[in-house]
Amino acid sequence: MKSINRRFINLQTKNPYWSSYTCFAETIYDVGFSRQSIHNWFNKLVDKNDYAKEDKKAIMSFLESLGKHPGIIKNRGKLPLGDVFKAETTK
């Protein structure tokens, strides 16, 4: 299992001048962590002074989009090569 905590600590160590929010966003970017993991670790790792409380819902939505499964992001905009494609080529 990929560890958000371990990745976050490594990033913070390498980038001491980054905010905890920036480190967290970089930690989850394009890795495929679940929505529940993102919310849970955000509450544990990100300093409450790094964001406005009223913006938390929008921030969480943004972070969820960053953390989408890598396969989904890499294939965005490409046509699926499923049964539809096979049907078109056999006509």
pLDDT in tens, 29-70: 878 888 899 999 999 999 999 999 999 999 999 998 887 755
The C-alpha angle 76, 79, 84, rounded to 5 degrees, equals: 145
Among residues 40, 6, 45, which one has the least CA distance to residue 22? 45
Q: How far is CA 55 from CA 9, 24, 42, 49, 58, in A?
A: 24, 16, 14, 12, 6
Record the pTM. 0.70
Q: The domain containing residue 21 runs over which residues?
A: 4-89
Give the model's pLDDT for residue 83: 45
How many structural domains are present in the chain? 1
d(CA 79, CA 87): 14
pLDDT beyond 70 at 71 = no
Q: At what angle do helices 35-45 and 20-28 cross, to 10 degrees?
A: 160
